[in-house]
Amino acid sequence: MRYQGRPQTRSPFFVASVRYALAAGCAICAACGASGAAEVVLVRVDKSERMLELVSDDGSVTRYDVALGADPHGHKQREGDGRTPEGKYVLDWRNARSAYYKSIHISYPDAADRAEAAVRGETPGGMIMIHGQKNGFGFLGPIVQLFDWTEGCIAVANDDMDEIWKQVKNGTPIEIMP
């Protein structure tokens, strides 16, 4: 037998209260989720270990294997030397349409690098990036990453680049160690 009673209606006050409670709950959950996420405060590269580390404000460290410039020993001296720079720089802009999947620019050369190159009568080079694999060749990443192959950049696998891209903000400092 079907219920024949009149349908229940809710007062406008009740409906408004429920909506307010749901909105407040969503706001609290969003705030907790945002504040619970660790922020990357430093990118550190150890050239001798071929390792890039994302250091977060909560002390956690995420590590990625890297490939470097074809002649990785020592600090970059001039354009075309195949070396990856050493020192403290800033990750200052990014390119989502890079020829190497995605890329984040390293602020090399700084004023000291330019001055040292000028004394030698050379150009210091530039366009040093953290980047993925050459477009169309991402599937070779596991093999290519076994060798130092860049012109001085820091190369990672495309999946790793996706993670780095999401976690690292423009303006994050990077320290590249020998």
Please calculate the CA angle 147-148-151 and round it to the nearest 5 degrees: 145
Is the distance from CB of 133 to CB of 101 less than 8 angstroms? yes
* Domain boundaries along the sequence of the chain: 8-37, 40-177
Sign of the Cα torsion 134, 88, 162, 103 reads negative
The H or E element that residue 35 is part of is: helix 12-36
| Average pLDDT of every residue of the chain | 86
Tell me: pLDDT of 175 over 80.
yes
pLDDT digits (tens, 9 = 90+) for 115-166: 999 999 999 999 999 999 999 999 988 888 899 999 999 999 999 999 999 9
Q: What is the pLDDT of residue 113?
A: 95
In CATH, the number for domain 40-177 is: 2.40.440.10
Asked if residue 82 lies in contact with residue 93, where contact means CB atoms within 8 angstroms, the answer is no
Measured from the Cβ of residue 91, the count of other Cβ atoms closer than 10 Å reads 21
More confident residue, 71 or 16: 71
Q: Which two structure tokens, joined as six digits, stand for 154?
A: 């820091």
Say what the pTM is. Answer: 0.78
Asked if residue 171 lies in contact with residue 91, where contact means CB atoms within 8 angstroms, the answer is yes
